[in-house]
A and B are shown apart, each in its own frame.
Chain A
Amino acid sequence: EVQLAESGGGLVQPGWSLRLSCAASGFTFDDYAMHWVRQVPGKGLEWVSGISWDSGTTGYADSVRGRFSISRDDAKNFLYLQMHDLRPEDTALYYCAKDKRSGSAAYYFDYWGQGALVTVSS
């Protein structure tokens, strides 16, 4: 059974940094691209960042590019999102999501964690 479990969320002040982690199990982690998708509570979904199966390619939404960094540790089956210079508009539930296709990313998300809440407020 595929399981994704996010951790590391919390309340931070504007300008602070935070690192989210996602523990993956139940599938061959290093075969798949992985993504972060966020959702402001009660609002819609926004793809934030993705990383290819081999870490060779990373992508970011314009809203976070230059402030967020995605990485993965295939030995530990972990996905990370390092967030710097956090802004109030980054407040959201951050989901870790598995790409549907092994190898080259499809950018469809077939398994999701339960999310880590990040609140940016002074």
Chain B
Amino acid sequence: EIVLTQSPATLSLSPGERATLSCRASQSVATYSAWYQQKPGQAPRLLFYDASNRATGIPARFSGSGSGTDFTLTISSLEPEDSAVYYCQQRNSWPYTFGQGTKLEIK
């Protein structure tokens, strides 16, 4: 099973700052990775798939990158509504797994 390790576990930043979230896979997943955003009491929302393809309706301040074992979600200028838990996921190898999440807090 491919293990996805996200870092940091918690990130606390101010509006307007840049956020960089990391996801590392225990073995290569090529570009078969995704990012999801989950706000309290809500279902997850797909942000990116195939590492860097933005899902429908996702603001341009969000970007996804990476390949192989290292992936990054960047939010260029934080808005208060970006406060959420962010999960990465891989679909390269069965079973398809998620990371444990990074909690992003906006000060």
Judged by a CB distance under 8 angstroms, whether B89 is at the interface is yes
Q: Which interface class (under 10, 10 to 19, 20 to 34, 35 or more) fits A?
A: 10 to 19
Contact B97 A47 (CB under 8 A): yes
The residue from B42, B95, B101 contacting A47, defined by CB atoms under 8 A apart: B95
B-contacting 9-mer, from A9-17, A21-29, A77-85, A101-109: A101-109
Bound together, the chains give a CA A95 to CA B36 distance in angstroms of 14
B96 touches A107 (CB 8 A): yes
Chain B neighbourhood of A107, CB < 8 A:
91, 96
* B: contact size bracket: 20 to 34
B46 and A108 contacting across the interface, CB-CB below 8 Å? yes
Q: CA of A72 to CA of B106 in the docked complex: distance in angstroms?
A: 41
* Cβ-defined contact, A110 with B55, below 8 A: yes
Given A44-B99, A45-B98, verify A106-B43 contact (CB < 8 Å).
no
Contact of A44 among B43, B50, B55, B101 (CB under 8 A): B101
Instruction: Determine whether the beta carbon of A44 is less than 8 Å from that of B100.
Output: yes
Q: Quick one: closest A residue to B43, CB to CB?
A: A112
Determine the distance from Cα of A113 to Cα of B96 in the docked complex, in whole angstroms: 20
Beta-carbon nearest neighbor of A105 in chain B: B91
Q: In the complex, what distance in Å separates the CA atom of A61 from the CA atom of B49?
A: 21
Question: How many whole Å from B105's CB to the nearest CB in chain A?
Answer: 16
Encode A20-53 as 1/0 by CB contact (under 8 A) with B.
Answer: 0000000000000000010000001111000000
Among B36, B43, B91, B98, max chain A CB count under 10 A is at B43
Nearest CB on B from A24, distance (A): 14
Distance between B93 CB and nearest chain A CB, rounded to angstroms: 11
Q: Footprint of A on B, CB under 8 Å?
A: 34, 36, 42-46, 49-50, 55-56, 87, 89, 91, 94-101
A107-B91, A108-B34, A110-B55 given; 10 more Cβ-contact pairs under 8 Å:
A37-B44, A44-B98, A44-B99, A44-B100, A45-B44, A45-B98, A46-B98, A106-B91, A112-B44, A112-B45
A-B contact pairs, 8 of them (CB 8 A): A37-B44, A45-B98, A46-B98, A108-B89, A112-B44, A113-B43, A114-B42, A115-B43
Please report A residues at the B interface, Cβ cutoff 8 Å.
37, 44-47, 59, 61-62, 95, 100, 106-110, 112-115
